[in-house]
Chains A and B, each alone.
Chain A
Amino acid sequence: MSNSYHDTRGRPRVVVTGIGLVTSLGRGKADNWTALAAGRSGIRPITRFPTEGLRTAIAGSVDFLDIGGYSAPALSAAMALAAGAEAITEARIGSPDAFPGPLYLATPPAEIEWPQRWSLYDASSGSGETGYKRLLAAARASEWREMRALCPFASVAERVAAKLGTRGLPVSISTACASGATAIQLGVEAIRRGDTDAALCIGTDSSVQIEALIRFSLLSALSTRSGAPAEASRPFSKDRDGFVMAEGAGALVLESHAAATARGAEILGVVLGCGEKADDYHRTRSKPDGTAIIGAIRNAIADAGIAPGDIDYVNAHGTSTPENDKMEYLSLRAVLGDHLAATPVSSNKSMIGHTLSAAGAIEAAISLLTIRHGVLPPTINYAMPDPEIPIDPVANTARAAPVRTVLSNSFGFGGQNVSLVLGAP
């Protein structure tokens, strides 16, 4: 039986009561929304490390948070904390250091980075050892407290959980570029199970570092339009040539509708449904027939208990790679059918780049702002329509439109696909 506190399957309805955002466009959802609605790009030349000689030398990096020198886990934690604190403040839930629910955190895999490897290597210069034996000798010989606090995989979640006082085991998740959406799905499922009344779901990513850039570049995944950073990410345009790496964090406070209402919270939106489907075709490419992506979208729509025709707008994965955008179109076409022609589809990544592990959470947050403002953020740099992708991409400028139901897609390397359906309060 469906009522305002339960969905059509009798599960607790899951609402959003707080939203937080950090992207290359700025800190906080107010600044981000202004920039997104204005069609501004956050993509810039990389200054964090030397890029001379690299084909790709641009990114949507976040350089305005004070973390005392870049390290990936420190920046991931700082952005997650900024977004998380913003969401908790808006939700007025618990206290700033005691959030009454678990943490689900999408975060990139952590590891020792080059500066740390070098400091270990240099510390043991007299040992006569070489290679990893020398690194291990250095590790044995001294205390490496700072490095030790950064390098465990659990380190980002630990910092966020300790600071925001979330309950229970902090959960770190990776489903590659779908991670942010998976974090939200984990929160939704926990609330539907009745395990908790509230959950803090965050996606964060700080991967603009030399090795990650070169590795993605070697996979031919990145745009090489280094001469024109703001124009490099051009989802759905025929002349798209790859994605632009970017950083950021998105956070949602999720609550059961009943609990949020009981404490008089303002409801910002509803997570109507989540769907996932794994692909077994290839490590970086999706099945040519799109069945896994189609499955994720269908599962999300079915989980929401709505029909494809109820989708008002699609916040696309839209990475700007030749392959993704075409596959995403074909999959949307398969699920939405003729309704797709009447459904605007835009990509936030045209402005903020691809925030990888954070993308699903950031784009869910932007989807909720889209509903709230009744304005569709544009796909910028849409200069050359691709005849193989006949969609309404909300080309180049934002458009006012009443939106009640948004489909937000996230697809990852490794065949991990997640779609969310977000709705108006």
Chain B
Amino acid sequence: MAHRNEVWITGVGLVSSLGADAREHAEKLFLSGSGVVPIIDETRYSPYPVHPLVPLDFSSQISRKSDQKQMELWQRIGVYAAGLALSDAGIAGDAALLDRTDLVVAAGSGERDTKVDCEVLERLGSREDAALLAKEVLPSALRPTLFLAQLSNMLAGNISIVHNVTGSSRTFMGEEMAGLAAIENAFRRIQAGQADRILVGGALNAEREDLLLGYEIGHNLWRGPHRLVWERCDEGGGFIPGSVGAFVVLEARAHAEDRSAKPYARIAAVETDRASRAPGQTVQALMQLFARLNAGSNPSGPLLALSGASGVEPASGEELVFLASLAVQNPEITVRAYGSLLGHSVEAHFPLGIALAALALEQGSAPPPFGQSDIERPFSGSVQHVLVTGVGHWRGEGLALLQAIE
């Protein structure tokens, strides 16, 4: 096998319902002792609870108002988090480095103008009025600039424009698979020497009726009062969307060392697959991925598993079977389903797990259990290895193994 570069995380940019940057997340997750209470809005989109974004001053990362106006909220969240990651990595404002930094984004649909949608639905009493829709309603109602806010690749486009990241730009789609593909692509390119430094991540604006509709036609949303991920599995399942922007800077070790960048952690391996989702197939796929993950890595001792479980059944139940089987082999495994606290962020959810793993390895500790259950047990040892799981609510399975840098 050819020489493989070590892949370091040298920057983390994180915004969610919990905090406005990585520092705030680290303090609340790892240093608060007793654990934090999730921030939930149960009324605005009732019966669907959502985790709303913490109030942000977008101007601190997107200085031009004209740029902000050209974006919908999901893009502003992503551009903000991307800017935090670049600053954290010490790349922000360094034109030469930015010109050689590649960009990989996991994105879903852009936001629709729901007011326009409602206007059209209510104005056209008869479905025979399609001609009217074409001739009168849409041309006057649609704002041309916000078309661009709807295109999946325009989160990446806006990051290039606002932060001047111009090495290259790729956007992956496909719900949770977008996040899995984005992290895997960035990791493998750096490992193989096809890229030196990649800004990778995604964003979700959970506070959108059009987003809720897209998932509710498949009955994937949790209805009613907030429950923890594992509790929802026992009660029919469903996910609670959470607004999140999560970006990390991945970098070849040699390049990070050359510019004296401080690493959070190394990514040792990323493996992904698509199981058919016939009963038992998700468990089997995860077991095989874990075997592949470990082939070159050999983690020993305590392992923190940051689970990206959505709470949608049967996917999350099968993931739990997989995690239980790991616990049989390795009694020192500690599970935390971070969606219990931050909600499910779909495309951004695996990048979010990678970002949280970086913080856990920097702190050397695990967050307190999210709620009372047999699944999430207290852990007070030193965290040296973190497993991040990503199981799509419908399709896609992935695992990543991260390690502390001695």
Write the residues of chain A forming the contact surface with B, with a CB cutoff of 8 angstroms: 49-54, 107, 109-112, 114, 117-118, 120-122, 130-136, 139-140, 143-144, 147-148, 151-154, 157-158, 161-162, 168-176, 179, 182, 186, 189-190, 192-195, 210-211, 214-219, 276-284, 292, 412-416
Residue of B127, B145, B157, B173 contacting most chain A CB atoms (<10 Å): B173
**CA separation between A413 and B156, bound complex, in Å?**
11
Q: Which residues of B contact A151 (CB under 8 A)?
A: 214, 217
Distance (whole angstroms) from the CB of A407 to the closest CB of chain B: 18
The 9 tightest CB contacts between A and B, nearest first, are A414-B157, A53-B135, A154-B174, A131-B118, A132-B209, A50-B131, A218-B144, A278-B169, A276-B168
Query: Does B175 make an interface contact (CB < 8 A)?
Result: yes
Distance (whole angstroms) from the CB of B382 to the closest CB of chain A: 33
Within 8 A of A (CB), among B138-192: 138-139, 142, 144-145, 147-148, 150-154, 156-158, 160-161, 164-175, 177-178, 180-181, 184-185, 188-189, 192
Q: Kindly identify which residue among A114, A134, A182 contacts B170, using a CB–CB cutoff of 8 Å.
A: A182
- Would A173 and B171 be within 8 Å (CB), given that A194-B1, A281-B161 are in contact? yes
22 pairs, A vs B, C-beta closer than 8 Å: A49-B134, A50-B135, A51-B134, A110-B109, A140-B216, A152-B174, A153-B152, A154-B173, A169-B397, A172-B172, A173-B171, A174-B107, A175-B153, A186-B185, A192-B192, A210-B133, A211-B142, A214-B138, A278-B156, A283-B148, A283-B157, A414-B157
- Would A168 and B161 be within 8 Å (CB), given that A173-B172, A214-B139 are in contact? no
Q: Which residues of A contact B177 (CB under 8 A)?
A: 154, 157, 169-172
**CA separation between A134 and B216, bound complex, in Å?**
12
Query: Does B394 make an interface contact (CB < 8 A)?
Result: yes
Q: Which residues of B contact A121 (CB under 8 A)?
A: 121
Query: Does B34 make an interface contact (CB < 8 A)?
Result: no
CB pair A283–B154 under 8 Å, yes or no, is yes
Write the residues of chain B forming the contact surface with A, with a CB cutoff of 8 angstroms: 1-2, 48, 70, 103, 107-110, 112, 114, 117-118, 120-122, 127, 130-131, 133-136, 138-139, 142, 144-145, 147-148, 150-154, 156-158, 160-161, 164-175, 177-178, 180-181, 184-185, 188-189, 192, 194, 209-210, 212-214, 216-219, 223, 272-274, 276, 392, 394-398
CB pair A152–B213 under 8 Å, yes or no, is no
**CA separation between A147 and B169, bound complex, in Å?**
31
- Would A279 and B166 be within 8 Å (CB), given that A189-B189, A194-B2 are in contact? yes
Q: Kindly identify which residue among B130, B158, B168, B173 contacts A172, using a CB–CB cutoff of 8 Å.
A: B173
- Would A176 and B151 be within 8 Å (CB), given that A169-B273, A278-B169 are in contact? yes
**CA separation between A276 and B209, bound complex, in Å?**
36
CB pair B272–A169 under 8 Å, yes or no, is yes
Q: Which residues of B contact A194 (CB under 8 A)?
A: 1-2
Distance (whole angstroms) from the CB of A117 to the closest CB of chain B: 7
**CA separation between A121 and B118, bound complex, in Å?**
10
Distance (whole angstroms) from the CB of B270 to the closest CB of chain A: 11
Residue of B170, B210, B272 contacting most chain A CB atoms (<10 Å): B170
Q: Which residues of B contact A195 (CB under 8 A)?
A: 188
Task: Identify the closest chain A residue to B220 (Cβ).
Answer: A148
Distance (whole angstroms) from the CB of A100 to the closest CB of chain B: 15
Q: Which residues of B contact A175 (CB under 8 A)?
A: 153, 156, 169-171
CB pair A131–B114 under 8 Å, yes or no, is yes
CB pair A52–B153 under 8 Å, yes or no, is no
Q: Kindly identify which residue among B135, B169, B212 contacts A415, using a CB–CB cutoff of 8 Å.
A: B169
CB pair B138–A210 under 8 Å, yes or no, is yes
Q: Kindly identify which residue among A133, A139, A161, A278 contacts B160, using a CB–CB cutoff of 8 Å.
A: A278
- Would A154 and B396 be within 8 Å (CB), given that A54-B134, A280-B160, A283-B148 are in contact? yes
Other A-B pairs, 7, CB within 8 Å; known A136-B216, A158-B274, A173-B172: A53-B134, A54-B135, A111-B109, A117-B117, A152-B395, A292-B166, A414-B154
- Would A193 and B154 be within 8 Å (CB), given that A169-B398, A284-B148 are in contact? no
CB pair B396–A416 under 8 Å, yes or no, is no
**CA separation between A361 and B271, bound complex, in Å?**
27
Distance (whole angstroms) from the CB of A124 to the closest CB of chain B: 11
Task: Identify the closest chain A residue to B210 (Cβ).
Answer: A132
CB pair B172–A171 under 8 Å, yes or no, is yes
CB pair A107–B173 under 8 Å, yes or no, is yes
Q: Kindly identify which residue among B133, B167, B173 contacts A174, using a CB–CB cutoff of 8 Å.
A: B173
Q: Which residues of A contact B185 (CB under 8 A)?
A: 171, 186
- Would A135 and B213 be within 8 Å (CB), given that A50-B134, A170-B177 are in contact? yes
- Would A218 and B70 be within 8 Å (CB), given that A131-B121, A170-B177 are in contact? no
**CA separation between A134 and B165, bound complex, in Å?**
42
Task: Identify the closest chain A residue to B392 (Cβ).
Answer: A154
Q: Kindly identify which residue among A52, A112, A413 contacts B214, using a CB–CB cutoff of 8 Å.
A: A112
Distance (whole angstroms) from the CB of A312 to the closest CB of chain B: 26
Residue of B2, B136, B274, B392 contacting most chain A CB atoms (<10 Å): B274
- Would A122 and B166 be within 8 Å (CB), given that A52-B135, A148-B217, A173-B171 are in contact? no
- Would A148 and B175 be within 8 Å (CB), given that A214-B134, A416-B169 are in contact? no
Q: Which residues of A contact B166 (CB under 8 A)?
A: 277-280, 292, 415
**CA separation between A218 and B170, bound complex, in Å?**
26
**CA separation between A112 and B157, bound complex, in Å?**
23
Task: Identify the closest chain B residue to A186 (Cβ).
Answer: B185
Q: Which residues of A contact B130 (CB under 8 A)?
A: 49-50, 114, 210
Q: Which residues of A contact B138 (CB under 8 A)?
A: 210-211, 214
**CA separation between A210 and B158, bound complex, in Å?**
26
CB pair B173–A173 under 8 Å, yes or no, is yes
- Would A413 and B121 be within 8 Å (CB), given that A109-B110, A158-B395 are in contact? no
CB pair A111–B214 under 8 Å, yes or no, is yes
CB pair A154–B157 under 8 Å, yes or no, is no
Q: Kindly identify which residue among B117, B157, B392 contacts A416, using a CB–CB cutoff of 8 Å.
A: B157
Residue of B189, B214, B273, B392 contacting most chain A CB atoms (<10 Å): B214
**CA separation between A143 and B217, bound complex, in Å?**
7
Q: Kindly identify which residue among A144, A153, A277, A278 contacts B178, using a CB–CB cutoff of 8 Å.
A: A153
CB pair A168–B171 under 8 Å, yes or no, is no
- Would A118 and B70 be within 8 Å (CB), given that A139-B217, A168-B274, A281-B161 are in contact? no
- Would A109 and B152 be within 8 Å (CB), given that A147-B217, A161-B274, A278-B168 are in contact? yes
**CA separation between A283 and B161, bound complex, in Å?**
8
Residue of B156, B192, B213, B217 contacting most chain A CB atoms (<10 Å): B217
**CA separation between A202 and B51, bound complex, in Å?**
37
Distance (whole angstroms) from the CB of B8 to the closest CB of chain A: 19
Residue of A120, A174, A176, A415 contacting most chain B CB atoms (<10 Å): A174
Q: Kindly identify which residue among B134, B153, B167 contacts A414, using a CB–CB cutoff of 8 Å.
A: B153
CB pair B142–A218 under 8 Å, yes or no, is yes
Q: Which residues of B contact A136 (CB under 8 A)?
A: 48, 209, 212-213, 216
